[in-house]
Structure 1
Amino acid sequence: MKSWANSGLGRDLHLDLAAPAGGRTSGVRAALVSALRESIRSGRLVAGTTLPPSRALALDLGVARNTVAEAYSELVAEGWLTARQGSGTRVADRARETAHRAQTRSASAPRPAWSLLPGSPDVAEFPRAAWMASARRALTAAPHDAFGPGDPRGRPELRRAVAEYLARARGVRTDPDRIVVSASSGHGLWLLARAVQGPVAVEGYGLHFHRELLGDAGAVTVPLHLDAHGAQPPDATGTRLSAALLTPAHQFPTGGPLHPSRRTAFVEWARTTGGIVIEDDYDGEFRYDRQPVGALQGLAPEQVAYLGTVSKTLSPAIRVGWMVLPEHVIDDVLAVKGVYERWVSATDQLTLADFIERGAFDRHVRRMRTLYRRRRDTLVETLAARSPHVHVTGIAAGLHAVLELPAGTEAATVGRAAGLGLAVEGLRTFRHPDGPADRPDGLVVGYSTPSSARFAATLDALCRALPTP
């Protein structure tokens, strides 16, 4: 018995029909009913889907038309299908509800109603119209080779656009030949760790998934102490390190730029030891109450590898990032990445290149900088009014704030927030396991994450979760 049918709309329909013993008509009908019911229950056939006419489905499956008609009638009677004169046989809305209940039962935990998790932009603000216009122009003008195996360095159009933007907006000293496109800053970090090989110094408080990526790449991580000036450089005469990973524009999660004297000291450490500084330009585009802080890479292009991405400026769904590399590591990174581009879509690269060159990227960043500053101000004002005992830090730039809590209350506050349907992370989540727990209890609040429509309700949930004086 055939298992493929045409839906009547030019679309294939797969039904897993178990062959009945002896080919009995009742057995064929039962198999068809079971196959359709399971396709609807699992969500493969969604509510509103039009099924083939009984004559067409019978012909495609090699069964009698009455067998299909009777199967349809049985499922209509059960509420899985609807049949109306002139509109054909369709999957009923009840099926949508049944599938939803099945998915709900299978979920391991309820999804939070609100989120203040850091590291994400407001995805509702993605510039769809401008991005679509860039995609249309990019695809129209794309050379034929854009649709073949790609250069592992990335599309030349994007590397030129990124080089110009970084030089102008972030003070990076580069040219397109020193840029290698990656799928994200995390992907770039993994490639670099594989290329340079050896222990990597990281900030004592930092992104835990960065430490996981480094571990996956075979690197041991060594925590660096943090103080009011940022990370302290490692001892040049101590453990031999291949690299030091920093967030110098806006330290994550504690906030604040790396002090100029520390910038100089890290560059000198790299020159002395032969290691490299890996600069994650975290939140570099977003500053509010201070002058812009240029990229550390501008001080020493041969000692600093610069990582950037559009994950927080545009969307984490646009899987495009970049590395600006010292000359001596480019070939090693490309050897790890592979002989052709298998990570980043060429069409997304071309679209982003057009988006940058047309000025749309700058306009979007300026608009979001204004929006996020208002969000930050609203957060500070709300806490001052409802939780004045909570101290807010790290807010001169970036997309998150640190809320200092009374000693011993962090875990309970995170748990209380979860009970209210609010996802938020405690500061200790970001501490290196081997680093000192020398920071007060706190929450890391990503105020860029909620949509504007949900921001007030999210802040209300946050205030209800915070400990009382």
Structure 2
Amino acid sequence: MAIDWSNFGVDLHLDLSASATRRTALEEALRDAIRSGRLAPQTRLPATRTLAAELGLARGTVSAAYDQLVAEGYLTARQGSFTEVAALPPIVLPTAVPEMVTTPRYDLRPGSPDVSTFPVAAWTRAVRRSLSRAPVTAFDYGDPRGSLALRSVLADYLGRARGVLASPDRIVITSGYVQALALLATVYRGRTIGLEDPGLDFHRDVVREAGASVVPVPVDSLGAVLPVASADAVVLTPAHQYPMGVTLHPERRRTAVEWARSGDRLIIEDDYDGEFRYDRQPVGALQGTAPEHVVYIGTAAKTLSPALRLAWMVLPAYLVEPVVRLKRLTDVHTETIGQLALADLIAEHAYDRHIRACRLRYRRRRDQLVDRLPGADLGGIAAGLHVVLGLPAGLSERDVLDAAAARGLALGALGTHWHEPGARPQGLVVGYGTPREGAYPAAVDMLSRVLRSF
């Protein structure tokens, strides 16, 4: 029996169903409440007559339970007065040693934008405008597909900026890219999904955890190499492959689409860094050439902030129902307030302005990195927020990473991205998005000094 003391001036939940006898159950429930701190010292308990009436117990049962806890020192009783919780010394339980997370002095790890560029003022205005216009129903449980306001403006924006063929009913908003990938992998549970090699090992874990098998899709200087005969679907990064930084060659794009069409297979297009190209116009999304065979995934993690946890999928018609059903079962819907603010930001073109400003900022950083590493073997410099730094023969990733760490510099390693590292090529993955603006030049200088030390 679960009891809520809402009528006693003491907001406390007691579970009396754990023991065979009601007296023992009351004793254990009160003892647990006192030990856990839910009943604080000097909290006055109800009179035995009152508590007995409310719990449906004999008054003698309650009195006996009180007497037992007084004897044990949990309660104190005053003759002819009231019973209260005793002032016991706090019970301090040993805790696990917390994991120490150290922040490097110089951070050139890949995978993050400069979060200090988040457009706080524009976002605040967007939140205010969107909330003032939102109907009351916007604050209730929402559509698992996401806010219609955001899906509508995304359909227009993606068509204009990325060449995506989209309509609001084909778009599903997710809590970040990883959830989008996990939902699709769950739809393909028991089947095989190809992931680029090299690529993020974390994404391989996501796919496997969802119940799909993983096969490598080799990547060379022209991008992903298809076909992969054993795959039912493949995840590609056509705009800017991570980590190698290559753009999928036009002939490879045609091959990929033909592979998907000929075998009724699926391409999952991760539009990684699609907004950040520096030496030519951005390459349009692959989805625009085969919308019924390509899922397009975009995210606000790099353009705005990873903290927003907002991403979007543009789905072929046959995938909408199973993905929406899984989304509902996973978290009902992605939070709505951020969706409304992002919809306003896009509709007012503040999103475009922010991306253009960031594109200029990151291009300057890319140029500065190239200028300060003359003669270095740099790959993937035409786009994105990172470069791949090749290492000369005889120099290992471990040697450079250890030397960098000794000087307070954090870098990424290429070796961890291979499906089977072994004797695969090594190198460094250097991110130029992570540092704040003022810290970036010193980080690049430190990288230069580390490399010159070998």
TM-score normalised per structure 1: 0.76
Task: Give runs of aligned pairs for residues 65-80 of structure 1, distance below 5 A.
Answer: none
Q: Could you tell me which residue of structure 2 aligns to residue 51 of structure 1?
A: none
Given the alignment of the two structures, is residue 405 of structure 1 paired with residue 397 of structure 2, yes or no? no
Given the alignment of the two structures, is residue 431 of structure 1 paired with residue 418 of structure 2, yes or no? yes
Give 1:116 shift.
Answer: 1.3
Let me know the Cα RMSD of the aligned residues.
2.8
* Match of residue 396, structure 1, among 382, 389, 398: 382
Residues in 2 aligned to 1:417 and 1:3: alpha-carbon distance in whole angstroms: 58
SS at match of 2:373: helix
* Match of residue 217, structure 1, among 181, 203, 210: 210
Given the alignment of the two structures, is residue 369 of structure 1 paired with residue 359 of structure 2, yes or no? yes
Which ranges in structure 1 are unaligned for 5 or more consecutive residues? Answer: 5-13, 39-101
Render the CA deviation track for 1:289-348: whole Å, top value 9, x for unaligned: 123200000110001000000000000001110000011111111121126963521111
Given the alignment of the two structures, is residue 148 of structure 1 paired with residue 140 of structure 2, yes or no? yes
Residues in 2 aligned to 1:15 and 1:324: alpha-carbon distance in whole angstroms: 48
8 Å CA contact retained: 2:227, 2:255? no
Task: Give runs of aligned pairs for residues 414-429 of structure 1, distance below 5 A.
Answer: 414-429=401-416
Q: Could you tell me which residue of structure 2 aligns to residue 346 of structure 1?
A: 336
Residues in 2 aligned to 1:436 and 1:363: alpha-carbon distance in whole angstroms: 44
1:413 maps to a residue whose letter is V
Give 1:22 shift.
Answer: 7.9
Q: Could you tell me which residue of structure 1 aligns to residue 445 of structure 2?
A: 460
Taking a change above 3 Å as real, the CA distance of residues 152 and 106 of structure 1, as seen in their structure-2 partners, is: closer
8 Å CA contact retained: 1:426, 1:443? yes
* Match of residue 104, structure 2, among 106, 109, 112: 112
Task: Give runs of aligned pairs for residues 304-383 of structure 1, distance below 5 A.
Answer: 304-338=294-328, 342-383=332-373
Render the CA deviation track for 1:114-136: whole Å, top value 9, x for unaligned: 22121111011110000000000
Deviates more, 1:15-24 or 1:250-259: 15-24
Render the CA deviation track for 1:132-188: whole Å, top value 9, x for unaligned: 000001111111211111111111000001111100000001111110111112211
8 Å CA contact retained: 2:152, 2:168? yes
8 Å CA contact retained: 1:207, 1:252? yes
8 Å CA contact retained: 1:151, 1:341? no
* Match of residue 234, structure 2, among 224, 244, 251: 244
Deviates more, 1:110-119 or 1:263-272: 110-119
SS at match of 2:306: coil
Which ranges in structure 2 are unaligned for 5 or more consecutive residues? Answer: 1-8, 12-36, 43-72, 78-83
Residues in 2 aligned to 1:410 and 1:340: alpha-carbon distance in whole angstroms: 39
Residues in 2 aligned to 1:334 and 1:383: alpha-carbon distance in whole angstroms: 48
* Match of residue 285, structure 2, among 295, 316, 324: 295
Residues in 1 aligned to 2:168 and 2:74: alpha-carbon distance in whole angstroms: 67
Residues in 1 aligned to 2:440 and 2:129: alpha-carbon distance in whole angstroms: 35
Greater radius of gyration (CA): 2
Give 1:373 shift.
Answer: 0.5
* Match of residue 202, structure 1, among 183, 186, 195: 195
Render the CA deviation track for 1:394-448: whole Å, top value 9, x for unaligned: 1011110111112342111112222222221111111112x78543x21111101
Aligned residues: 383
Taking a change above 3 Å as real, the CA distance of residues 18 and 450 of structure 1, as seen in their structure-2 partners, is: same
8 Å CA contact retained: 2:146, 2:333? no
Residues in 2 aligned to 1:221 and 1:17: alpha-carbon distance in whole angstroms: 54
Deviates more, 1:458-467 or 1:273-282: 458-467
8 Å CA contact retained: 1:208, 1:430? yes
8 Å CA contact retained: 1:115, 1:423? yes
Give 1:110 shift.
Answer: 2.9
1:220 maps to a residue whose letter is S
Residues in 2 aligned to 1:201 and 1:338: alpha-carbon distance in whole angstroms: 26
Q: Could you tell me which residue of structure 2 aligns to residue 192 of structure 1?
A: 184
8 Å CA contact retained: 2:278, 2:382? yes
Q: Could you tell me which residue of structure 2 aligns to residue 69 of structure 1?
A: none
Taking a change above 3 Å as real, the CA distance of residues 109 and 322 of structure 1, as seen in their structure-2 partners, is: closer
Residues in 2 aligned to 1:287 and 1:245: alpha-carbon distance in whole angstroms: 21
Taking a change above 3 Å as real, the CA distance of residues 268 and 110 of structure 1, as seen in their structure-2 partners, is: same
Residues in 2 aligned to 1:468 and 1:420: alpha-carbon distance in whole angstroms: 12
8 Å CA contact retained: 1:154, 1:341? no
Give 1:461 shift.
Answer: 2.7
Give 1:226 shift.
Answer: 1.5
